[in-house]
């Protein structure tokens, strides 16, 4: 199984190839990518590569993507306990979602605590839900970074299905 550093190199090489391809294709008017779309795609891809790697399921120990969170690395320890290595965390559709949901739950928890601690503060209303134009390239970049990790790990797209079937059969 590749190490964190090898995963990062694979992802960066794939990103470079993709960027070169997209640039060439848009020069020939084959595709139209706005700078904003390219930026949000890059944001999602890099966050998925460096901060939200599937190997966070190992973060009860030492793992590259946990180290990149710096002093905040400890927030991933419960995630590491919750998810067995290369289990649900390494599935193609649900796996990446578990990490997004985990971050959302953490942010919600922090926001709730801060609001409870300073109730008199004039908090601004919750931000508007982000538009699809922003979310689509962001999610695409994120998911692509995750899938590259899974391909490098040798995990097949039906991993989740087979995993749960095996569990069912064992019952």
Minimum distance from residue 152 beta carbon to Zn ion (Å): 8
Length of the chain: 171
Interaction residues for Zn ion, span 126-155 (CB under 5 A): 153
The closest of 29, 95, 5, 22 to 57, measured between CA atoms, is 95
In contact, 44 and 137? CB cutoff 8 Å? yes
Is 36 or 97 the residue whose CB approaches Zn ion more closely?
97
Number of residues in contact with Zn ion, rule: CB under 5 A? Answer: 3
CA 168 to chain centre: 28
For helices 132-153 and 4-27, angle between their N-to-C axes, nearest 10 degrees: 130
Minimum distance from residue 38 beta carbon to Zn ion (Å): 27
Minimum distance from residue 79 beta carbon to Zn ion (Å): 14
Minimum distance from residue 55 beta carbon to Zn ion (Å): 4
Is 137 or 149 the residue whose CB approaches Zn ion more closely?
149
Is 115 or 162 the residue whose CB approaches Zn ion more closely?
162
Site string for Zn ion, 43-62 (x = CB under 5 A): -----------xx-------
CA 146 to chain centre: 6
In contact, 55 and 62? CB cutoff 8 Å? no
Query: Which residues here bind Zn ion, judged by CB under 5 A?
Result: 54-55, 153
């Amino acid at each position: 199984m590749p190490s964190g550093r090898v995963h990062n190199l694979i992802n960066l090489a794939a990103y470079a190839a993709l960027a070169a391809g997209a640039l060439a294709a848009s020069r020939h008017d084959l595709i139209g990518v706005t700078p904003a779309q390219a930026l949000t795609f890059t944001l999602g891809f890099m966050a998925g590569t460096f901060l939200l790697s599937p190997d966070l399921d190992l973060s009860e120990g030492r793992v590259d993507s946990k180290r990149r969170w710096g002093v905040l690395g400890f927030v991933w320890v419960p995630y590491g306990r919750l998810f067995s290595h290369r289990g649900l965390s390494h599935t193609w559709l649900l796996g990446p979602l578990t990490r997004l949901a985990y971050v959302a739950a953490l942010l919600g928890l922090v926001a709730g605590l801060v609001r409870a601690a300073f109730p008199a503060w004039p908090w601004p209303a919750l931000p508007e839900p982000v538009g699809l134009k922003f979310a689509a390239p962001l999610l695409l970049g994120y998911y692509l970074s995750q899938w590259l990790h899974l391909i490098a790990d040798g995990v097949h797209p039906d991993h989740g299905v087979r995993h749960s079937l095996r569990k069912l059969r064992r019952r």
